[in-house]
A and B are shown apart, each in its own frame.
Chain A
Amino acid sequence: MTAVARRRLVAAAASIAALIALVVLLFPLYAVIVASFETNSQLFGASRYSFFPSTWTLSNYSVVLSQQGSHLLSSLIIALGTAVLTLAIALPAAHALARYRFRVTALLVGSLLVAQILPSIVIANSLFLVYHRLHLLNSYPGLIIADASYAVPFCILVLRAFMLGLPRDVIAAARVDGASEWRAFTRVVLPMSRSAIITVVLFAFLQGWGDFIFALTLLNGNTFEPVTLSIYTYVGEFSQNWGEAMALAVFAVLPAAMLLIAAQRYIAAGLTVGSVKG
């Protein structure tokens, strides 16, 4: 076999293998989208599963849009709040840890690494009782503060790793020109860190959007609830409302899908930097 023919054969075999892997990995998403257009009787207790249903309906979507609008809005508020709070905390901290040498830098970075490891259920158990005293249960601020715990350590470490790579002379030049530390930070460091900031904003947003543990423990569902909690109650112990649950799941998945398409290169680059060097 010639080298060219051999290379073509490998490429063809690899394409087929990748296609099979993608079908297996993405079938659950296909199934959700299809199910969201089916009636509950097609989905629950039917005699067989149909990979491509003969009848389609939009009724799940009309129910979800009329009943779940407020929950989708709650999820959006929580996700945006988590992203904003995370940035407000992480940006200055990352700048300080990258630019200045504290004697305790190793200690601070080490404690952020440990914070990344802590299981959320441990934090939720304590926060429930603390929040009960502080009257932060069933409140947006309380939930957003809790949700930021997924993102703050990771985002500080990713931003710091990125900021360490920025040219020091540019920041020093701004300081010599009379810019204050704060001005140098906002006018020089932040614009240069744009791609890393996009990565961490997306990360924090998705964490706030997808949170379930803190919503389950710190909300009682009487004031507001995010879509993760709604999906859970749709198909919990007492109801099997699959059609609407799947339509709501499509909405719950949308931000991740859209962000992936819009900012794919940032996500892939950011995750790699964050996980290996963070």
Chain B
Amino acid sequence: MSQTAAPTRRVTQRSARPRTPLPGQSRLRYAVAIRWAFLAPAAAYVLFAFAIPIVYNLVLSFEQTSPATISHLTAPFAGLSNYTTTLKDPVADSAIIRTFSFTVLSLLFQFLIGFTLALLFNLRFPLRRFARSLILVPWLLPLLVTGTIFKFLFQLQAGAVNQILLDVHLIHQPIGFELSPGWAYATVLITNIWIGVPFFTVLLYSALQEVPSELIEAARIDGAGPWQRLTHVTLPVIRPVIEVVFVLGFVFTVKVFDVVIGLTNGGPANSTQLIATWAYNLSFQDFDYGAGAALNTVLLLIALVAAPLYIWLNRQSLRGDSL
């Protein structure tokens, strides 16, 4: 809006002249209006689909909601009771802790596997382009479909994973992956790692491609071994991209929902509930929208931890200049 202030200021400076707007000024005002018109749909959309829901979620979290209050936009004020009851609930507490451990373990393994594959694809071998494009497939599948596929693979009877483990004699009895809390958590974690590896691989691979080969060659001539070249040359050079993949990976992982619902539905006995899935349960299974909103606020705060970092990593794009 501050752009529109410029022409009016010019009018006051020329106070000796007639007050009627000059054709040039109206054209300028028109041009400014056009600029904002280009932005209007996006502004309206961001307001409707992001700003209002976030603010409304905050309002809801302080209200005493019930199925009866759905038909009104507001419900009686409840103070902090949604927060205190939700956060005292052991299921919510363990869902919050689990979301942390799940995020840390996911990112760790996604990075280790993704970086190893990126290094692999950085070598010269036949069909590497073909292999690199195939590797993207897991990342493009609908997440619920992936969850369902892995539910099938991890079945107790006639499950592919159990069959492989039995065939190589690692186990003698099939494992009830869906029945034990520990195994259920592991299956969700493995599935999520499988989903994220292509993303890490592709981004880290394109970063490796940008590392100047003269730099590696110079280190080799100076007597650096492969490990030293990796830790002292390659990793420092691609550090900005590593930061980006970790921040984006964090953002993807804290809000994981579809995979859990498709794979375990939060079970057995709520042992694989994450913040997002438990908030869904509170709102859409128990119809306690206020309690769900309170837990959503917790999720929102955790996700927004990444915001300053994410904006800082994109600081170049905040300026209007060409990248």
Contact = CB atoms under 8 A, between A and B. Distances in A.
A148 B45 contact: yes
Contacts of A182: 34
Contacts of B318: 105-106, 109-110
A15 B94 CA distance: 43
B149 A93 contact: no
Give the 7 A-B residue pairs with the shortest CB-CB distance, closest first: A210-B142, A93-B42, A96-B38, A126-B53, A119-B255, A49-B163, A256-B140
Interface in B5-36: 31, 34-36
A211 B141 CA distance: 11
B317 interface: yes
A156 B150 CA distance: 34
A46 B158 contact: yes
Contact of B42 (A103, A156, A252): A156
Given A25-B138, A257-B137, A272-B202, A117 B131 contact: no
Contacts of B41: 88-89, 92-93
A93 B38 contact: yes
B206 interface: yes
Interface residues of A, number: 116
Interface residues of B, number: 108
Contacts of A213: 257-258
Contacts of B293: 125-126
Nearest to B302: A119
A164 interface: yes
A174 B175 CA distance: 68
Given A105-B318, A132-B71, 20 more contacts: A14-B125, A21-B135, A49-B159, A93-B39, A93-B41, A95-B38, A105-B319, A105-B320, A117-B306, A123-B53, A129-B289, A130-B56, A165-B322, A182-B34, A231-B145, A245-B148, A260-B137, A268-B136, A276-B206, A277-B323
A50 to B, nearest CB: 8
B108 interface: no
Contacts, number: 328
A18 B131 contact: yes
B317 A157 contact: yes
A267 B2 CA distance: 38
Nearest to B128: A18
A102 B3 contact: yes
Interface in A172-213: 181-182, 185, 206, 209-213
Contacts of B35: 96, 100, 102, 181
A173 B18 CA distance: 34
Interface of B, secondary structure class, is helix
A122 B298 CA distance: 10
Contact of A44 (B48, B145, B146, B158): B158
Interface string A76-115: 0000000000001110110111001111111011111111
Interface of B: 1-3, 31, 34-39, 41-43, 45-46, 48-50, 52-54, 56-57, 60, 70-71, 73, 117, 120-121, 123-128, 131, 133-138, 140-146, 148-153, 155, 157-160, 162-163, 194, 197-198, 202-203, 206, 241, 244-245, 248, 251, 254-255, 257-258, 261-262, 265, 276, 279-280, 283-284, 289, 292-293, 296-297, 299-300, 303-304, 306-307, 310-311, 314, 316-323
